[in-house]
Structure 1
Amino acid sequence: MAQDATTDADKPELDVVACQSRDKAAEAKAQAVAQAFSAAFQSADRAKVLALVPDMEAVMATAPAPYYLERCDDHINVYTRNMTAALMVGVMAAGGDKDGKTKLNINLSGPTPYATIAHGLGWVYADRKDYARCIAMLEDGLKRDPFDEVMIAEHLFCLGQAGRSEETIETADKHLNNFMLGLSDMGKAAILRRKGYALIELNRWDEAEAAYKASLKLDPKNQIAKNELIYIQQEKKKLKGA
């Protein structure tokens, strides 16, 4: 079978850390803050999200080093909100023993509270148009949950708004071509919209049009993509008439 011919060099590298010693009190506090943010964010309560900023920043100031895969004895813990990616990555990590004898169990968990809070602060900084802080915070967050497609899209948004258009396009393509992310159609569509915006900023009209059209195939009702396509057509007509 073709799979049997796969070499170790062909396999994506996974960052598996040793079992973490935890400050249970600090983690419990972080979990409470993360849950409060999630509740406010899901209910679209901007005021509540903003009120949580001091607590979120305090948690992240003392957060442990990022990790999303943890080996503890005979099991692998996978921390991500993306359960499609979690299963695939967990299986790959559990099969990583060179002797092939040690069988590891897989525990699929949600994201660590620190990943959730990093997303929350990234969103807040984007709301404030503080794109440099948004990018830095979400890059930390993506080290804690590299499979979170909402955080991926927010990071691309801040890159684009910061004028880092080429980097936005390159990063978007990297995500779209990464099978390990297990992206949903909606996740892919959001990434394509961020790519389309960056292409518009570079006046690459045909490529931008293609990106937005591709996004609409995955998310047909998205009005932002529809509006951007109208704008692109208007700009292309101006160029033809010039």
Structure 2
Amino acid sequence: MEASAKSWLRAVTACLLGALGTFVAPPADADDQAKITQTITLLGNSAEEQADQEQVVAAVLQIRAGKIQQAIDGPLTDVVNRYEKRYGNRENVFSARGPALGLMYMSEAAAKRLPNATGNATDVGPAWSMAYWARGYGYSEMNRFRDAEAELKKALALSPRDAQYATELAYVYQMEGRFADSLELFKSVPEMLDTMEGWGDAEKKEFHCKSLRGQGYNLVELKRLDEAEAAYKACVAVIPGEPKSLAEIEYINGARAQGR
């Protein structure tokens, strides 16, 4: 599978939320100040939050060891149930892997309610969306793609610009034969990479290239060989000599020679 647990673990441990506080989002116009109460809250890096994240990471290691159902039914569902009970009925709750991304989500949610509404937006830290992602990853490993899709959509609802969650869902769409849907989602991944806090250049290049390879695969399935070749060549431009892309370019050239 393109989305590897190993690279995910590096990214997760590098971008834990480290802020705890609140602030009031400014109104769009000074005349609205008396009408608006927009509170944005960041929660994260508490002992409880750290324990939740560690529980998810341990569960991913279980999945990699082949104990997939145990990880899903045990630690991952335990984390999910805890957050769903606490926050499941609230609006504008996010679970971002990084404070800047969380603030972006919450500020956008606040802006949508301006100028005449009141409300709250909360970032609960990354563990909740991570747990949904991990359950989706586990279901993908068992070829239960319908279940994987449901979990990954929940992860993206809590963190809509997470490049890894989007990449995993695009992969699931491929496995379901939804090549056009997968193509569009893979196209959205590169613009998400700058907001992935804690990811180094290597991780960003890896996921950029994955998104291009994913596009190439879908375009081949859609019989759009010229566009597919361009996507694979773009991956090679990101990571010179990338072997999977070079092999696919060779396959496309062979398909052309055979008139396919």
* Correspondence for 2:143: 129
TM-score normalised to structure 2 length: 0.61
1:81 aligns with 2:79: no
**Equivalent residue runs for 1:200-219 within 5 Å:** 200-219=220-239
Deviation at 1:134, TM superposition (A): 1.1
Q: Provide the residue aligned with 1:65 in structure 2.
A: 88
- Indicate yes or no: 2:55 matched with 1:36: yes
- Distance between the aligned counterparts of 1:176 and 1:196, measured in 2? 14
Following the alignment from structure 2 to structure 1, what is the Cα–Cα distance between the partners of residues 64 and 148? 20
* Contact 2:213–2:232 (8 Å) recurs in 1: yes
**Which of 217, 238, 241 lines up with 2:258 in the alignment?**
238
Distance in 1, matches of 2:89 and 2:66, equals 28
**Aligned counterpart, 2:210:** 190
Percent pairwise identity: 21
Change (3 A) 1:168 1:67: farther
User: Contact 1:196/1:207 (CA < 8 Å) preserved in 2?
Assistant: yes
Whether the aligned pair in 2 keeps the contact of 1:68 and 1:79 (CA below 8 Å) is no
1:152 partner letter:
A
Shift of 1:217: 1.7
- Stretches of structure 1 lacking an aligned partner (at least 5 in a row): 1-7, 9-15, 71-77, 100-106
Change (3 A) 1:146 1:94: closer
2:207 match: secondary structure? helix
Separation in structure 2 between the aligned mates of residue 37 and residue 179 of structure 1, nearest angstrom: 22
How far apart, CA to CA, are the structure 1 residues paired with 2:178 and 2:89? 25
Sort the Cα spacing of 1:221 and 1:83 in 2 relative to 1 into closer, same or farther, 3 A: farther
Identify unmatched segments of 5+ residues in structure 2: 1-27, 29-37, 116-121
CA contact (8 A) 1:199 1:205 kept: yes
Q: CA deviation at 1:114?
A: 1.4
Q: 1:145 to 1:228 in 2, by over 3 A?
A: same
Distance across 2 between alignment mates of 1:144 and 1:172: 19
8 Å CA contact retained: 1:131, 1:161 = yes
Q: Which has the higher contact order (CA 8 A, sep 6+)?
A: 2
Picking from 127, 131, 134, the partner of 1:117 is 131
CA–CA distance in structure 2, aligned partners of residues 175 and 66 of structure 1: 29
Q: Which of 153, 162, 171 is 2:176 aligned to?
A: 162
Q: Would you say how many aligned residue pairs link Structure 1 and Structure 2?
A: 205
For 1:130, the aligned partner's letter is: R
- TM-score after normalising by structure 1: 0.65
The answer on 1:46 being equivalent to 2:69 is no
1:146 and 1:213 map into 2 onto residues whose CA distance is 28
Query: What's the C-alpha RMSD, in Å, of the aligned pairs?
Result: 4.2
- Conserved 8 A contact 2:186-2:212: yes
Query: Counterparts of 1:142 and 1:149 in 2: how far apart (Å)?
Result: 9
Go from structure 1 to structure 2 and tell me whether the alpha carbon gap of 1:218 and 1:46 turns closer, same or farther (over 3 Å shift).
farther
